[in-house]
Amino acid sequence: MSLYPRILRVALWIAGFLAVNTTVVASVVSFKAIKKNDAVLTPGVCNLSMHLCTTGPMGKNCANNNDCPVGTNNLSVLPNDKVEAEMFLSDWINDFPVDGIPNNVRAFQVKLDRAGYVSADIGSAKPLGWCGPVDEITCTQSATCPPEYPICLPDPLPGCTCSPHTPQLGGFITLSRPDFLLFGVDGPTPECITTNLDFVYYGLAENPAQAVPDTGVPRYLGTLNLKVSANACGTFTIGFVEDLFATIIGDPSGNWVLPFPQPLVLTIPINDCPQQLLSCIPSHCNIDARIARDRLDPTIRRTAFQMAMTFRKPTTGMTAANFEITVVPFDSEDFVPTIIAVTPNGADPKITTVTFLPRIQEARWTCVRHIESNRQCCIASLPGDADNDRMRRLDDVFEVFDNLQGDAIPALTIEKCDIDRSVRCAPADLLMLVDLLNDEGLICDPFPCFPTTLPVCPSDVPPP
């Protein structure tokens, strides 16, 4: 029988007991970074007479001081860095104030909080080997997955991912360590569950007599290897889920009291962020529903040919070589625009305007990518798509009509309701939209007005 569901059943059994009993929470479950890019951060002390660490992971077998790293809860990193961190349990002696029974630990479970893998700025610090998004993309077949995560994993690893997907490289327990909490005890093999990003580490001593006393020495629970993304910026806080049945330790008494250890999280700040593309005008995935040409002279194209891009740092020195343009979908008759100017904004040095020609085409996404940060903004032209569903159809007529009546909440922006490019939203836009649906007049390019749909907007972070 798997240990994981067994612990959950035990936890459920004692839920009623927890509801009416108060426990003293004194224990601490902590994250400590011990290596960066495979280099030990601070060597500890290895007692060579016993080959045991006397600082850092005390009691661990060692051959030299590098085997006894002194961890830290705050580690500055750079994009692309790899961080090795370990979890420890300490100070549980006062956690189980019950009838004189030894205050020992017989079971533990630690669940990581995936929210810490992203920062408030940009990028990720995901477990090593996790080839997939932070937020799960559900799927039943690979055809429904986005291009950057094209593989649909079957149960028990559902969701879209990519290859190679080897999460066991990111989360594991080294059972041979003498400082492991349940080293040498009888019971099911402790394990790290990596089927989703909320990694779960757990273990159980079946024999109550083997419950572990608190000797004042932190005990190892498991290892987490993190890979900081190339575009990472900001602060990552790697911590634990603190809900009932998530991060707990267990007492060997008949009451099975489960305290919640106090969390000591791992903070990973990036103090010198690289240049980052933050936003664009028009915004990413914006669809222009206006006709592609001048309403009075169809030989004059009116679609977008500029994009104002906002960056984290001043854009001084940027040139066309800092950008790349792609067209999605692309066929042999399409023209990929060429960047003809990169113009800084005099009022705000963090904004620059990219000018390109020819103008964007209908029923295509034109994507401008900032190469250094590998972020892009994509815009499109689909005349008549007033409701932004990537299709020109009868529903768009109702959308424009409701907007004219004041019933559209929120009101349509100018590029959604000014179908005829008269620089205002008016009843004439309804007539133009009906003409588009009927393929009437010289108002589309190419003629007649097709295709009438757009593919899904490409991600703002394109696949490698």
In a domain, 463, yes or no: no
**Which string of DSSP letters, residue by residue, matches 221-280?**
EEEEEEEE-TT-BEEEEE-B--STTTSEEE-SSTT-----PEEE-EEEEESSPPP-EEEE
Is the pTM value of this prediction over 0.75?
no
In a domain, 444, yes or no: no
The mean per-residue pLDDT over the stretch 225-230 comes to 93
Give tens-digit pLDDT for 50-67. Answer: 999 999 898 899 999 999
pLDDT at residue number 120: 77
Same domain, 322 and 392: yes
Sign of CA dihedral 22, 23, 26, 30: negative
Distance between CA atoms of residues 109 and 210, nearest Å: 17
pLDDT higher than 60, residue 280: yes
Supply φ then ψ for residue 386, to 5 degrees: -70, -30
Q: Measure CA 194 to chain center.
A: 16
pLDDT at residue number 231: 81
pLDDT band at 282 (very low <50, low <70, confident <90, very high): very high
How would you classify residue 420: left for phi > 0, otherwise alpha for psi between -120 and 50, otherwise beta? alpha
Same domain, 222 and 265: yes
Q: What is the CATH number of the domain that holds 185?
A: 2.60.40.680
In a domain, 152, yes or no: no
**Range of lowest pLDDT (341-345, 429-433, 448-452):** 448-452
Same domain, 306 and 403: yes
Q: Domain boundary at 270, 296, 331, which?
A: 270
Mean pLDDT, rounded, of the chain: 87
Q: Give, rounded to a whole angstrom, the gap between the first and last alpha carbons of the chain.
A: 41
Q: What is the CATH number of the domain that holds 285?
A: 2.60.40.1220
Give tens-digit pLDDT for 69-82. Answer: 999 999 999 989 99
DSSP 460: S
Give tens-digit pLDDT for 364-416. Answer: 999 999 999 899 999 999 999 999 999 999 999 999 999 999 998 889 999 99
Residue 35 pairs with which residues in a beta bridge? 40, 84
The answer to whether 149 and 459 are in contact (CB under 8 A) is: no
Give tens-digit pLDDT for 90-144. Answer: 998 877 665 556 678 889 999 999 999 998 778 899 999 999 899 888 888 898 8
Structure tokens at 399: 């959308």
Same domain, 413 and 396: yes
**Range of lowest pLDDT (18-22, 251-255, 345-349):** 18-22
Same domain, 410 and 427: yes
Same domain, 221 and 298: no
Structure tokens at 191: 């394990």
The answer to whether 209 and 184 are in contact (CB under 8 A) is: no
Q: Domain boundary at 270, 290, 321, which?
A: 270
Same domain, 355 and 264: no
The answer to whether 208 and 101 are in contact (CB under 8 A) is: no
pLDDT at residue number 345: 92
pLDDT higher than 50, residue 18: no
Same domain, 236 and 361: no
Q: Which domain holds residue 266?
A: 3-131+166-270
Specify the number of domains making up the chain.
2
Residue 116 half-sphere exposure toward CB, CA atoms < 13 A: 21
Same domain, 224 and 102: yes
In a domain, 145, yes or no: no
Angstrom CA distances, 133 to 148, 161, 164, 214, 229, stand at 9, 7, 13, 39, 12
pLDDT at residue number 23: 45
pLDDT at residue number 20: 37
The answer to whether 433 and 422 are in contact (CB under 8 A) is: no
In a domain, 146, yes or no: no
Q: What's the full length of the chain, in residues?
A: 464
Same domain, 46 and 178: yes
In a domain, 394, yes or no: yes
Amino acid at 145: C
Q: Domain boundary at 242, 270, 298, which?
A: 270
In a domain, 139, yes or no: no
Give tens-digit pLDDT for 328-370. Answer: 998 877 789 999 999 999 899 999 999 999 999 989 999 999 9
Same domain, 176 and 35: yes
DSSP 115: G
Residue 125 pairs with which residues in a beta bridge? 228
pLDDT at residue number 332: 77
Same domain, 218 and 326: no
In a domain, 86, yes or no: yes
pLDDT at residue number 450: 62
pLDDT band at 437 (very low <50, low <70, confident <90, very high): confident
